[in-house]
Chains A and B, each alone.
Chain A
Amino acid sequence: MITDAPRIVTSRLGHSDSHTLERYLATGGYEGLRAALARPPAEIREEVDKASLLGRGGAGFPAGRKWSMLRPAEITYLVINGDESEPATFKDHLLIERDPHQVIEGTIIAAYALGVAQAFIFCRGEFALGLERLSQAVNEAYAHGALGRNIFGSGWSLDLVIHPGAGAYICGEETALLESLEGKRGFPRIKPPYFPAAIGLYGAPTVVNNIETMSNLPWIVRNGGAAFAALGQGSSTGTRLFALSGRVERPGWYELEMSKTTFADLIMDPSLGGGVKDGHDLKAFIPGGVSAPWFGPEHLSLGLDQDAVAKQGSMLGSGSVVVMDDTTCAVRAAWRITRFFYRESCGQCTPCREGSGWLEKILRRIEEGAGREADLDLLMDACDNIAPGVSWPPQQTTICVLGPSIPSSIASGIRMFRDEFLLHVKEGGCPMRDAR
């Protein structure tokens, strides 16, 4: 780590057996839960509030505030979002496979703080090993007395079920996730209600939180919310697990103190990203998953800070940074990202369903050399139909924000690399084809 902040969610990952109960118990495992059970649930909620823990799933909503919105009812649920499918994001995958007990302990702590009737971890179906590790860990947690009846003799009881997904990006959207968990197609629900905290699983009030959000809880309970909030700056507290990929020497995961570490540190520092691949020049980078507008080299000095990134017109989103260098074709990159949205649109809303298809087709023809100059305006027009004004944050005309996320890469590409788009048209093909 660049700063001297402790490792919070990756503290065990240096051990090859980090996923086992034995290692977990030898490294402070389930002590957070024991400490939590000794206090009333309201105090745990206060600690999380004090920590200002921002949700790590993409929207960055404060966990404490979300919890306070849970509508009181006889039956409430907690559902953990482990569907991780935002392109270039692989941090939850890591936490699930390498420290499943930490995910589970965090989930139990949250369930206790919220007083829910039952908890579910929705794990992306493609994570076969992750599902096995989580299932094994749940079995061990029951045998250890951390789940089931009368947990650690506290008189409080909880059941936790691991639920496998079946391959659909849209199920990461929390209301689609709940539909899927109800055994249906993963169609996002019409808002309002805006939050499942009002109406969620089976119509009951439900908190949906991300895997990494949960993984922070054992540490927060053991060390206090104030210790967490002392890390980082402003609203970006604690550390965050970043996933670095693309044209970079050392792709991988890095847990970094928020705000006090910069994109330049993450991408260039020899102990982190190690610089652009093969000594090439940085062309652009995506700061927070493919739904986020792109940044250029001038943004490198920006801190890994939710508000700072938002102020510059993008988002820290899912914590995944993709590096593009001078061999990367901006048209091809925008095309591939758009193709993803086209393939994953659930099809409920016309602008998203039709728009993504049109955009993909136009971008492909530009990349393949059959584009026209007018295609650039056509692209922006179609983007405007999906998210009027093509501003950031985007205006929403659709049921969920998948649709309004589509323009990000296209508008970025055209804004930053207009000449490159035009060169494709003029030369009748990709000028960088031979560079890759």
Chain B
Amino acid sequence: MAALTPENFERARAIVALYPKARSALIPLCHLAQSQDGWLTPEAMEDIAALVGVTPAEVRGTASFYDMLHTEPVGRHVIAVCTNIACMLGGAYELLEHAEEHLGIAVGQTTADGEFTIEEAECLAGCDTAPCVQVNHRFFGPLDAASFDALCERLRSGELGGDVPHHGTLCRVERAVGLLATEGERGGDER
């Protein structure tokens, strides 16, 4: 836990190498760290800072701008209920209220067992399936109270494991090659 594992450190180096300037890798590396720990630990932020050539405070300051990057621990399943216009017209606030009641927590909180965090999301671009919900950024919708409860049950039992990896895991497809077009022509650029 915490600092990047040696394997992830290598992955991080490969990601940095994809960009003309190392700092561009800052956000992809934050995602990498979150896929390891579920959130951005201070130790991981130190590693990222060293990898992209900024201070740890700059990593934190940048990360805090972005909704998906968590500098505090969150639940294993982050449930984001969209309440924006299309979802609101489809009953999203009623669903969000139900979600809070069902899980016994308010928006922004995590259940005592660390299983669920609820977030009120802005439009998730799933408006044709309103009200739209994401769990760890995997789409579900339209949901009503009953299907929401059933979804929580399936998440709790681990039945959805493959479809909904733990929080922080975004893209499970790794890039197969580095930069090829400019291979051998590079050098002297800022790193």
Contact = CB atoms under 8 A, between A and B. Distances in A.
Answer yes or no: are A and B bound together in one complex: yes
A127 B21 CA distance: 25
A128 interface: yes
B28 A87 contact: no
A421 to B, nearest CB: 18
Interface in A147-167: 147-149, 157-159, 161-167
B183 interface: yes
A318 B151 CA distance: 32
A220 to B, nearest CB: 24
A139 B178 CA distance: 10
Given A87-B86, A159-B179, A183-B27, A128 B170 contact: yes
A87 B124 CA distance: 8
A166 B30 contact: yes
Interface stretch (B2-10, B96-104, B110-118, B132-140): B132-140
A124 B180 CA distance: 25
A127 B126 CA distance: 10
A166 B40 CA distance: 13
Determine chain A's interface SS by DSSP, over half rule. mixed
B128 A142 contact: no
B14 to A, nearest CB: 12
Contacts of A333: 85, 88-89
Given A129-B139, A131-B171, A340-B122, A88 B127 contact: yes
A266 interface: no
A160 B85 CA distance: 35
Residue from B28, B85, B124 having most chain A Cβ neighbours under 10 A: B85
B26 interface: yes
B69 A167 contact: yes
A85 B89 contact: no
Interface stretch (A245-253, A303-311, A374-382): A245-253
B65 A136 contact: no
Given A168-B65, A168-B67, A343-B122, A243 B127 contact: yes
Interface in A222-248: 243-247
Interface in B142-191: 169-177, 179-183
Q: For this complex, into which size category does the number of interface residues on chain A fall?
A: 35 or more
Contact of A290 (B19, B26, B85, B169): B85
A336 B52 contact: no
Given A93-B125, A185-B61, A336 B24 contact: no
A232 B173 CA distance: 39
Interface string A281-322: 000001000100000000000000000000000000000101
B13 interface: no
Contacts of B175: 135, 138-139, 162
Contacts of B107: none
B74 interface: no
Contacts of A86: 123
A147 B181 CA distance: 8
Most buried by A among B18, B67, B128: B128
A90 B171 contact: no
Contacts of A357: none
Among A126, A336, A337, which residue has the most Cβ atoms of chain B within 10 A?
A126
Interface residues of B, number: 57
Given A128-B171, A149-B181, A88 B123 contact: yes
A132 B173 contact: yes
Given A126-B68, A182-B24, A87 B122 contact: yes
A127 B19 CA distance: 21
B125 to A, nearest CB: 4
A265 interface: no
B23 interface: yes
A164 B170 contact: yes
Contacts of B125: 84-85, 89-90, 92-93, 124, 126-127
A324 interface: yes
B181 A246 contact: no
Contacts of A15: none
Contacts of B18: 159, 161
A253 B173 CA distance: 27
A183 B122 contact: no
A143 interface: yes
The 4 closest A-B pairs by CB, nearest first: A167-B67, A183-B26, A157-B181, A166-B66
Given A128-B170, A251-B127, A336-B83, 8 more contacts: A87-B127, A89-B127, A132-B171, A183-B62, A184-B26, A186-B66, A245-B127, A328-B89
Interface of B: 18-21, 23-28, 30-31, 52, 54, 61-63, 65-69, 83-86, 88-91, 122-128, 130, 134, 136-139, 169-177, 179-183
20 contacts: A118-B181, A126-B68, A126-B125, A132-B171, A135-B175, A142-B180, A149-B181, A161-B179, A162-B175, A166-B68, A167-B66, A183-B52, A183-B54, A183-B62, A184-B62, A245-B128, A246-B127, A253-B128, A324-B89, A340-B123
